[in-house]
């Protein structure tokens, strides 16, 4: 039942034909990451690179490369976990169908970590420079651990119950980190490790941190699982694996995962920081160099036969897309229990995940009203922006199930059509300004700083959306190539952005003025998005949502024809204009190295090791 370690999983997948070994000497600097991305896009197998330049350790990529493989890896416990989540969502279900929950006690027992005195992880020691030095993108600042499990315990309440296991960025070489002695630890401001670090600083004591790599695949998934604060990821990993996670202490004061392939043991001292990055990240751009905490390395342990699992991130979809889809599939029935009144949420992967959140909620506050309008939806929206991973969302579009029982947040064309038909642009856009946004999002007014927008729509349709442009449409000077991307949505090519951060652009205000002179003709086109490349942005929905929402800050980059502010509330008769050009101050998008791509092409030629794989 389940896998105790990574080696068992590799052997099983290889026997099923779900994993291939690659014995050709390949470079972890750009080359191996590019191969993994290619194989992921092709829906290919897991990859075990056994001849890694500069390291004696094999690298394992694309382990979670397809939903089918992810379901297979956790096949023994998924039904029981889903049953437990159903029981939490509907406590009466266990009484109605007790046989459906017969495996629950075994799953719950597996959730309890087990302390042991010895384990495979203590077999050997090494140093950071002997680990695989994975560099995924040309501008990356050094080598990174891309599937780390960063373990810490709360100094105010030590122990497994109050531990945190998170997947934070870990830079093991480059910049001015002392070789083999220092690691860059980039954790985002919303994360559990930050709470532990804060407690340690409050007490005036250092914080021990262990970084596990490998081990049971359940540990990797647990590290990205958006669990509520106070619920241990370590316990979730045991439930998912169907086996108690064995934890071993060796006098460091912080337990290590006994079955991990590697463990980097270190210490955070106060507020010490060093420059970390750049790094090609999951929004599709580089996150630039900023100061982040430095982990002082005490020891690096590894087990016999250790395997280094990795992934590469970049503009979605990538392997971490599967993580998100898998987690949604596992927990979708819990959404109403965490967010009462919310039926469905969709963090849109194609946008970079956090820039865009779509939701279906309830609008029941005033059932006797002559016309339904967003009220409960706004309560739902504030809850979504105030809890769990959904709090990282920048744009939240939310519609009411009462208006359409078939409304789905996962059907982008239908969802946007539903919202745009019903929005009162004078009333239904609600901005949160001067707030925190995702650390990786560079569209805001500074690092971690920017704005959010709740766009709520309820009630009957207010307009009929057009699918064609008016024949006499006029634009302001410098704006060209208007195109109707979808019903109600116009995409326009704008001049290159040259303005400063956090300042609205007079050219966009001029565009709003010109469009404001054509309100009647544009009533069926309530959303206008200004981009750098119309052909690219309007090619498909994936491009449209990525460009529109990853490159704009709501408070700075939204304009409106005849816009006005009444009692601090902004509104416009329409259209709403989003400036989605790449800004002069934003991080560059990710582009692969052409020479590396040619070498990767050659690996798929007849007779080459990856022929027929991609």
| pLDDT value for 556 | 97
Which residues sit opposite 449 in a β-bridge? 436, 446
Cβ pair 573, 462 in contact under 8 A = no
Whether 95 has a pLDDT exceeding 50, the answer reads: no
DSSP letter for each residue of 238-304: HHHHTSPPEEE--SSSS-EETT-SEEEEEEEEEEEEEEE--EE-TTSBEE--EEEEEEEEEEEEE-T
Residue from 466, 373, 469, 486 nearest 426 by CA: 373
> Cβ neighbours of residue 11 under 8 Å, at least 6 residues apart?
none
| Tokens found for residue 522 | 């544009």
> DSSP state, 29?
B
Cβ pair 45, 18 in contact under 8 A = yes
d(CA 290, CA 449): 14
Judged by DSSP in three states, 37 sits in: helix
Q: What is the mean pLDDT of residues 360-368?
A: 92
Q: What is the mean pLDDT of residues 433-451?
A: 91
Q: What is the mean pLDDT of residues 447-456?
A: 95
| pLDDT value for 334 | 79
Cβ pair 218, 237 in contact under 8 A = yes
Helices and strands (DSSP H and E) totals, the chain: 18, 30
Tell me the pLDDT band of 252, cut-offs 50, 70 and 90. Answer: low
> Cβ neighbours of residue 269 under 8 Å, at least 6 residues apart?
206, 294, 296
Q: Given the DSSP bridges, would you call strands 149-153 and 262-276 parallel, antiparallel or unpaired? A: unpaired
Q: What is the mean pLDDT of residues 244-265?
A: 91
Which residues sit opposite 48 in a β-bridge? 21, 60
| pLDDT value for 179 | 97
Strands (E) located in 88-214: 114-116, 124-126, 144-145, 149-153, 163-166, 169-171, 182-186, 207-213
Tens of pLDDT, residues 567-597: 999 999 989 999 999 999 999 999 999 999 9
Q: What is the mean pLDDT of residues 54-65?
A: 98
H or E element in which residue 485 lies = strand 480-486
Which residues sit opposite 126 in a β-bridge? 300
Considering the chain, what is the average pLDDT of its residues? 93
> The domain 6-73+111-310 is classified under which CATH number: 3.40.50.2000, 3.30.1360.40, 1.10.3210.10, 2.30.110.10?
2.30.110.10
Q: How many CA atoms lie within 13 A of 109 on its CB side?
A: 5
Tell me the pLDDT band of 192, cut-offs 50, 70 and 90. Answer: confident
Tens of pLDDT, residues 117-157: 999 999 999 999 999 999 999 999 999 999 999 999 999 99
> Cβ neighbours of residue 215 under 8 Å, at least 6 residues apart?
5, 6, 149, 257, 259, 260, 261
Tens of pLDDT, residues 387-417: 888 999 999 999 999 999 999 999 999 999 9
Residue from 567, 382, 406, 381 nearest 457 by CA: 381
Tens of pLDDT, residues 476-496: 999 999 999 999 999 999 999
pTM for this prediction: 0.91
Whether 66 has a pLDDT exceeding 70, the answer reads: yes
Report the CATH number of the 322-457 domain: 3.40.1670.10
> DSSP state, 219?
H
| pLDDT value for 369 | 86
Tens of pLDDT, residues 101-111: 455 556 666 68
Q: What is the mean pLDDT of residues 54-58?
A: 98
Tens of pLDDT, residues 304-346: 999 999 999 999 999 999 999 998 888 888 788 889 999 999 9
**What residue ranges do the domains of the chain occupy?**
6-73+111-310, 322-457
Residue from 256, 290, 296 nearest 172 by CA: 296
> Cβ neighbours of residue 589 under 8 Å, at least 6 residues apart?
284, 285, 315, 582
Q: What is the mean pLDDT of residues 241-249?
A: 92
Tens of pLDDT, residues 199-238: 999 999 999 999 999 999 999 999 998 876 667 899 999 9
| pLDDT value for 228 | 63
d(CA 148, CA 150): 6
| pLDDT value for 230 | 61
């Amino acid at each position: 039942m389940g896998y105790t370690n990574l080696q068992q999983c590799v052997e099983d997948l290889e026997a099923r034909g779900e994993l291939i070994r690659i014995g050709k000497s390949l470079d972890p600097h750009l080359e191996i990451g590019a191969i993994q991305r290619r194989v992921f896009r092709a829906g290919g197998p897991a990859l075990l690179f056994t001849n890694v330049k500069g390291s004696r350790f094999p690298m394992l990529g694309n382990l979670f490369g397809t939903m089918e493989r992810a379901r297979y890896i956790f096949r023994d416990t998924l039904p029981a976990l889903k049953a437990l989540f159903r029981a939490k969502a509907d406590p009466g279900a266990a009484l109605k169908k007790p046989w459906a929950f017969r495996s629950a006690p075994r799953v719950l027992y597996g959730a309890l970590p087990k302390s042991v005195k010895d384990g495979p992880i203590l077999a050997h020691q090494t140093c950071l420079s002997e680990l695989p030095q994975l560099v995924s993108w040309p501008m990356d600042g050094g080598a990174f651990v891309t599937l780390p499990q960063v373990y810490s315990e709360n100094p105010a309440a030590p122990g497994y119950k109050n531990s945190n296991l998170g997947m934070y960025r870990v830079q093991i070489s480059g910049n001015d980190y002392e070789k083999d002695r220092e690691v860059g630890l980039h954790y985002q401001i919303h994360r559990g490790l930050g709470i532990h670090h804060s407690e340690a600083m409050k007490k005036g004591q250092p914080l021990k941190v262990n970084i596990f790599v490998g081990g049971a695949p359940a540990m990797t998934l647990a590290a990205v699982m958006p669990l509520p604060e106070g619920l241990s990821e370590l316990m979730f990993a045991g439930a998912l694996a169907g086996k108690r996670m064995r934890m071993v202490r060796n006098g460091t004061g912080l337990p290590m995962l006994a079955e991990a392939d590697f463990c980097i043991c270190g210490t955070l001292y106060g507020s010490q920081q060093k420059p970390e990055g750049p790094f090609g990240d999951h929004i599709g751009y580089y996150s630039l160099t900023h100061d982040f905490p430095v982990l002082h390395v005490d020891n690096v342990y590894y087990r016999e036969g250790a395997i280094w699992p990795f992934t590469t991130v970049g503009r979605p979809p990538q392997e971490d897309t599967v993580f998100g889809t898998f987690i949604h599939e596992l927990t979708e029935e819990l959404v109403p229990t965490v967010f009462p009144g919310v039926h469905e949420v969709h963090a849109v992967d194609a946008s970079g995940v956090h820039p865009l959140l779509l939701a279906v909620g309830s609008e029941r506050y005033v059932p006797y009203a002559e016309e339904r309008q967003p009220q409960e939806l706004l309560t739902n929206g504030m809850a979504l922006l105030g809890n769990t991973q959904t709090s990282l969302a920048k744009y939240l579009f939310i519609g009411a199930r009462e208006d359409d029982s078939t409304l789905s947040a996962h059907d982008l064309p239908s969802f946007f059509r539903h919202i745009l038909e019903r929005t009162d642009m004078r009333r239904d856009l609600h901005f949160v300004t001067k707030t925190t946004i995702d650390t990786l999002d560079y569209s805001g007014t500074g690092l971690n700083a920017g704005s959010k927008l709740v766009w709520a729509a309820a009630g009957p349709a207010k307009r009929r959306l057009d699918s064609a442009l008016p024949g006499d449409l006029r634009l302001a000077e410098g704006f060209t190539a208007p195109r109707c991307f979808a019903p109600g949505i116009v995409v326009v090519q704008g001049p290159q952005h040259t303005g400063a951060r956090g300042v609205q652009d007079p050219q966009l205000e001029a565009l709003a003025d010109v469009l404001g002179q054509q309100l009647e003709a544009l009533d069926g086109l309530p959303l206008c998005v200004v981009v750098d490349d119309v052909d690219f942005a309007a090619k498909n929905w994936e491009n449209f949502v990525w460009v529109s929402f990853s490159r704009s800050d709501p408070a700075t980059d939204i304009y409106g024809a005849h816009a006005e502010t009444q009692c601090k509330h902004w509104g416009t008769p329409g259209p709403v204009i989003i400036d989605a050009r790449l800004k002069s101050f934003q991080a560059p998008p990710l582009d692969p190295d052409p020479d590396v791509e040619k070498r990767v092409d050659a690996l798929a030629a007849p007779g080459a090791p990856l022929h027929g794989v991609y």
